[in-house]
């Protein structure tokens, strides 16, 4: 059974996925999990011919900083290693430029504020 925290995370990822799809990104996969780590969303930005690895973060309030600020160097390194793993196993994307984005979902999940940072790291 999923934990409450995981349920909230899944809701935030769904919100981010819908938002990014409306911005023109094409869904590839969600929750790509390896022993190295997890990538929340992998999407394709056809306009720029880029494969986009996306970390989604949720914060109910920003009293201690916004959601995107929680992606520290250690988390960035895990995402980067996991992305390398993905590319080694998905050779159809070998000619694509890669990009790492962060989507912060803040406030109430019914009426979220979305902060999309392209090329976050």
Give, for 104, the enclosing helix (H) or strand (E): strand 97-106
The structure tokens listed for 90 are: 């998905």
Q: What mean pLDDT is predicted for residues 41-70?
A: 86
pLDDT in tens, 27-55: 999 999 999 999 999 999 988 889 999 99
pLDDT at 72 over 80: yes
Average pLDDT, the chain: 91
CA 36 to CA 22: how far, in whole Å? 30
Structure tokens at 50: 């880029």
Q: How confident is the model at residue 70 (pLDDT cuts 50, 70, 90)?
A: confident
The pLDDT assigned to 62 comes to: 65
Q: State the residue for tokens 């979902």.
A: 105
For a pLDDT cut of 70, what percent of the chain falls above it? Answer: 93
Please give the pLDDT value at position 2. Answer: 59
Section 74-92 average pLDDT: 95
Q: Where are the alpha helices (DSSP H) in 27-121?
A: 73-89
What is the average pLDDT across 8-22? Answer: 94
What structural domains does the chain harbor? 4-117 (3.40.1350.10)
């Amino acid at each position: 059974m999923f934990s409450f925290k995981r349920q909230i995370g899944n809701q935030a990822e769904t919100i981010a996925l819908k938002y990014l799809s409306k911005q023109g990104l094409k869904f590839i996969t969600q929750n790509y999990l390896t022993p190295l780590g997890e990538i929340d969303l992998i999407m394709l930005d056809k306009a720029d011919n880029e494969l986009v690895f996306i970390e989604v973060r949720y914060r109910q309030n920003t009293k201690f900083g916004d959601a995107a600020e929680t992606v520290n160097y250690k988390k960035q390194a895990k995402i980067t290693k996991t992305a390398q793993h993905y590319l080694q196993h998905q050779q159809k994307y070998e000619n694509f430029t890669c990009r790492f984005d962060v989507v912060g979902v803040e406030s109430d999940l019914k009426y979220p504020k979305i902060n999309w940072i392209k090329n976050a790291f």
